[in-house]
Chain A
């Protein structure tokens, strides 16, 4: 390999790509060529860096300088100053809102400093489309160890001893799952990687695949060896085109290198992987529905037992793990179970990847040791709430999880603690909410989601969720009645009891936790016909503050229903009878003259 003095690691995750990261890369290459630095500086497109809020992102290696929010216009100056003259450009560095001075080094930025990377060990350090770069970072070394030095039983023991639990949400011990599949009778067995990351607000699996697809493949090959199968599937969501593309490339490269296919590493072990694209059904993240989809059928869950380990794909024993679980495997094999089990808490070992989104300054992807507090995640890593607003709740676990209120901010995050407060680990989405988020609206949002995604098989889930939505809609429209909260609770428990799969079994969690922690908000809607967060349309009105309005006419022009009235350069007002409460005037006003009450 040719050596370069400097590498420019440009983030090529979906977030940054949507922010023109490819144009940045082209501009960098153009300028480097212009200044004749082609032999010294190399531009590398990496996977998701994690600090999505600041995209497009570039890290200069080896000095570790972090540049953010780049535009094409910045590039000529940046290349000349930093790469030719050796003067890092301060104005393109990250400056936290509370500080005045920029932080040059990535490792000094709060967002990164508390993280510990296992599943994401190669993020931002390799080009995910080049297998050689993965190999250079100890890639496939664990596979060599597993195939040449370990028996399948030893591999399973190592995973069991590590304490690794499923990262898809339920947290079943991975080693035990493997053992069940290995011991299940039958010659033909399958393994599956579940990359149907359907929870809204969660993008851990997408980022793992986009940043380091080979780590997932290596984990799967090791798992295949341990369980004794020669065929694996990756079920990936259709909504992730970039991840799919990188995955397919990675599989092709692994085949070329003899890491997939026949006689892997010259051993007698054969294994190959088929990629199956999902077709847009949330319920297919449930393992039995997922298998039905791979078999080409309608993705409806079926009762368990029998579990997939006994009867899975086409009736054969099947082991299903989530993307992040697979990505953890190589490092456990390489460093040993003892190393892994020293990280985390008593019951939850290792790290967990979370996506931190919503009303938070540092939106992005992070990997932290289990047992970290919510406060550390939200304030130290997440940088707190934007606009000086008050932190209200964090929603974990997607539609199956719950809302954890601000007073529990010192909670230690692991499987058990989250379940105790009525939520769950889930796949790892964390949606932060502030005082302008209405908790009844949030509950309604998730219930609408579950209603859309219910497969319709079980009556409690199909009908019950719809009734819950009716009640929540009435509450949000100011038509709530006394007793609605109790009725919601009763329905919620009935749906939990009467549903076959996890979708129905957990669909009530967002409703139950919001009632548990934010009952006063429900009551304000029902009794006072008031939405404290000013979100529910039927309960709010928009006004124009005559003192702040200078009559610029922007909102008047934008209003789709001609509800804004007034002469140019005179304070405007809103005709409440016409107003459709779309909020466009509120959004467009540059003088904060539009108020919501």
Chain B
């Protein structure tokens, strides 16, 4: 895919091309592009003087980073302990079945990415589903399906 090197350069500049800031730099690039294309990693490696394999190592180690394009809508199900005992897993399975993708995958039309997280720290309102940064508490499988429908419709 074509990426705009100016965007990468801007992020590098903002972080003063500091080698120690590799993780913030990658976070900023992902915030900009929604994922981390290989070309972007190559530019970062070259500009910071870090071997590409180390940059790759960091991106695969941390859960935040995605080396595949992500969907327009990011659906995150919390699987913290409190959400787990209240049925978070069942909700993940329901969404997974509805979108026909597993956790960590993106639908073919690039509309949805399904992710899970190990605790968002708002256990009181669990089970929680986050869609594009908005938190929805007290979820059930049914409510989650309705939420997906709503999100999909808004786009159309």
Mark A residues whose CB is within 8 Å of B. Answer: 13-15, 17-19, 52-53, 55, 197-203, 206-207, 238-241, 276-277, 279-282, 293-299, 355, 357-359, 363-364, 395, 398, 429, 431, 433, 437, 442, 445-446, 449, 452-453, 455, 558, 560, 582-584, 587-588
Contact = CB atoms under 8 A, between A and B. Distances in A.
A18 B90 contact: no
B81 A445 contact: yes
Contacts of B124: 15, 52-53, 55, 357, 363-364
A256 to B, nearest CB: 22
B119 A582 contact: no
Interface in B88-129: 90, 93-94, 97-98, 117-126, 128
B142 A584 contact: yes
Given A198-B119, A281-B61, A582-B93, A52 B81 contact: no
12 contacts: A201-B82, A203-B122, A206-B121, A207-B121, A238-B64, A280-B62, A296-B19, A296-B21, A299-B61, A357-B126, A442-B85, A453-B118
Contacts of B20: 294-296
Where chain A touches its partner, the secondary structure class is: mixed
Contact of B82 (A19, A200, A206, A279): A200
Interface residues of B, number: 47
B23 A296 contact: yes
Contact of A395 (B24, B79, B81): B81
Interface stretch (B2-10, B67-75, B132-140, B148-156): B132-140
Given A200-B84, A280-B64, A358-B85, 13 more contacts: A15-B137, A18-B135, A200-B81, A201-B81, A202-B121, A277-B23, A279-B62, A281-B63, A296-B22, A296-B58, A298-B57, A363-B82, A398-B81
B34 interface: no
Where chain B touches its partner, the secondary structure class is: helix
Contacts of B121: 14, 197, 202-203, 206-207, 239-240, 355
A437 B125 contact: no
A446 B97 CA distance: 24
Nearest to A431: B81
A542 to B, nearest CB: 13
A203 B81 contact: no
A537 B35 CA distance: 36
A355 B119 CA distance: 13
A424 B133 CA distance: 33
Contact of A298 (B61, B119, B122, B126): B61
Contacts of B136: 18
A168 B66 CA distance: 30
B140 A279 contact: no
A463 B62 CA distance: 20
Interface in B38-79: 54, 57-58, 61-65, 79
A10 B151 CA distance: 29
A298 B50 CA distance: 13
A201 B24 CA distance: 26
Contacts of B86: 358
